[in-house]
Amino acid sequence: MNLDINAIKKKAAGLKQQGVSLFTVHVKGRAVSLYEKVRTELIEYPEKKERNRRVILLVGFIFLFDYLAYSLHTDKNIFDIFPTIPSLADEVTASVYLPGLDGETIITEKRSIPDYESDEKKARFLFEIVVKGQLYENTSMAVPADLFVRKVWIEGRGQGRTKTCIIDLEPVEVQANVPVIKNSERLFKQALEKTIIENISAVKNVVVLEKGIPDVALWEL
């Protein structure tokens, strides 16, 4: 089979010319027109406030379009970005245990809490209650540190009361100029364990970690 090299080159040159022509007519012209419009309406617009407003609107539209495209390609509902808000009508009564200011007493209170479907979310909420202390008395000195939860999970197999609730905290920061009550950390952990075990039926033990490390002194040395 003989190949006509000159004919192939001529054909290739013709296709290239057609491509250049299509680009010039249908792409380049529109791109130049769009650039000129952006330059006139945004970059060189004389009024500064109006120019900034248009730039913000353009950037916001780009982010919105990008999010919609991501949702489409991942088959996600566009409203999945918002967390589920528990219904205020669906509440349960919980017995919570709170550390007292004497380092020895644990106080019991009844609280109405959201009826979470997830035990992990419920445990996180109960943790926040114990950290904040009593409703009508200032017991903040019982927990003289800022505690931020990294993750909560419940481990264990079976249907019985055999599982362990693990709470992993960010590195703890002790509040400045706040006196530390003796035994306050031990009492806090006891109150937390009693609260979670009583309100989550499957949990038997509670473990508190600091960035994955167990048995760390949170604020008492």
Instruction: Categorise residue 185: left if φ over 0, alpha if ψ from -120 to 50, beta otherwise.
Output: alpha
Q: How many residues does the chain have?
A: 221
- Going from the C-alpha of 16 to that of each of 12, 21, 130, 149, 156, the distances in angstroms are 6, 9, 73, 62, 67
pLDDT at 82: 61
Q: Which residues pair with 95 in a beta bridge?
A: 110
pLDDT at 192: 96
Compute the distance between CA of residue 197 and CA of residue 199 in angstroms, rounded to an integer: 6
pLDDT at 105: 92
119 by DSSP, 3-state: which?
A: helix
Compute the distance between CA of residue 116 and CA of residue 152 in angstroms, rounded to an integer: 14
pLDDT at 176: 75
Would you write out the chain's pLDDT as a tens digit for each of its 221 residues?
A: 455 677 777 777 778 777 777 777 777 777 777 777 777 776 777 787 887 887 888 888 888 888 888 777 777 777 666 666 655 557 899 999 999 999 899 999 999 999 888 999 999 999 999 999 988 888 888 888 889 999 999 988 666 668 999 999 998 888 777 788 899 999 999 999 999 999 998 899 999 999 989 888 888 76
187: which 2 tokens?
């009492």
